[in-house]
Amino acid sequence: MKSYMKKTLLASGLAAILMLTSCSGAEKPEKTDNADPLSTTFVTGGARAAETVHIGVLESPVPIVDETIADAGEDTTGAERTAETFSSLTELQLSLMRGDVDSVKIADCTARYMAARNYEFAAATLNTETPFNVGFAMMLNNTDADLRDRLSKAISDIKADGTMKALEEKYINGFIEGKEPEPVEYEHFDDAETVSFAFTGDLPPMDYISADGIPAGFNTALISEIGKRLHINIKSVNIESGSRTIALMTGRAQVVFWTPVLDNVTEAMYPDGMTITEIYHTEILSEVKRRS
């Protein structure tokens, strides 16, 4: 990686375009051809692409995670690769649609979700000898170590009894194509502890927020299950991906729903004062490009 840049784009008037592809739940655009929406036919070559390939990555709390994701995959063009992080999926998709970035590297479920809802996009897993896996954990302040341990125990139990697999199949794989996810209600317990969870909506259908600002789908299904098992009340907080650490530091939320975890990243590399739970979900890393 010869260059690594970070830039925040202002979506403003163009944000409406992304209502077709974001986790907003907007209607799909009309299909203009008979191509498979999950086709792996990508835009090729072009003078600029031959000289450099510009990659977009959704910002994480750990820069080395972003750099590793941007570097992943084989490149047979000999082009220089540069990368740019974005604070929201909306900005990332807008940049791809405009051609400011040549490709987006992101969790496979989100890559396929993007391609299924925008026929200008095509998704494919990375060309690697072995699958490039990204784990997802929850992040907290390290002063909440007891809560972290209780969450990790609940996650382990949900995995062990098969509930996690069922939730993934229904609320992730089941909503990549077709209708948008609906909220799963949280059970209320009188006189019980309330824990605030922050959602971004930037990794649909795993982390999804509807057009009216309500978290829905897998994130709510998993947190609802955890709430039942820990006998806690759940409070939902909506934030941007780039605000995850700040949300914890300022007390806006106690738990951030998703944080990428890679094999080469230790907890010591996370922001000072932050800690993570056990991994609750793993995705293969995929790439999204404009369709040729």
Whole-angstrom Cα distance, residue 69 to residue 279?
18
- Residue 76 has a pLDDT of 62
Q: Which amino acid is at 137?
A: A
- Residue 58 has a pLDDT of 95
92-103 pLDDT tens trace: 999 999 999 999
Helix (H, G, I), strand (E, B) or coil at 47: helix
What are the C-alpha distances in Å from 106 to residues 12, 117, 136, 188, 287? 24, 16, 12, 35, 6
CB 260 within 8 A of CB 276: no
- Residue 50 has a pLDDT of 52
Where along the chain do its domains lie?
3-131, 133-285
- Determine the topology of domain 133-285 in CATH: D-Maltodextrin-Binding Protein; domain 2 (3.40.190)
CB 208 within 8 A of CB 236: no
Average per-residue pLDDT in the chain? 85
Please give the model's pTM, rounded to 2 decimal places: 0.82
CB 289 within 8 A of CB 137: no
Q: Is the C-alpha dihedral spanning 246, 281, 205, 81 positive or negative?
A: positive
- Residue 74 has a pLDDT of 77
Q: Is the C-alpha dihedral spanning 94, 207, 122, 101 positive or negative?
A: positive
Q: Which amino acid is at 29?
A: P
Task: Mark 150-182 as b/e (b = at least 16 C-beta within 10 Å).
Answer: bbbebbeebeeeeebeebbeebbebbbeeebbb
State what percent of residues in the chain have pLDDT above 90: 72
